[in-house]
Amino acid sequence: MRIVLVGPPGAGKGTQATRLAGKLSIPHISTGDLFRANISRQTELGKLAKVSMDAGNLVPDELTIAMAKDRMRQPDAENGFLLDGFPRNVSQAAALDELLKTEAITLDAVLDLEVPEGEVIKRIAGRRICRSRSAHVFHVSYSPPKKQGVCDVCGGELYQRDDDSEETVRKRLEVYHTQTEPIIEYYKTRGLAVTISSLGQVDEVTRRALEVLGREDDGK
Residues with catalytic function: 13, 88, 127, 161, 172
Tell me which DSSP letter residue 53 carries: H
Q: Give exposure, 144-157, as e/b (b: 16+ Cβ within 10 Å).
A: ebeeeebbeeeebe
Asked if residue 115 lies in contact with residue 7, where contact means CB atoms within 8 angstroms, the answer is: yes
Secondary structure (DSSP) of 150-174? B-TTT-PBEE--GGGSHHHHHHHHH
Q: Where are the beta strands (DSSP E) in 59-157?
A: 81-84, 109-114, 127-130, 137-139
Radius of gyration of the chain (CA): 18
Cα angle, residue 88 at apex, residues 186 and 205 outer, rounded to 5°: 80
Which is nearest to 169 in space by CA: 118, 125, 113?
125
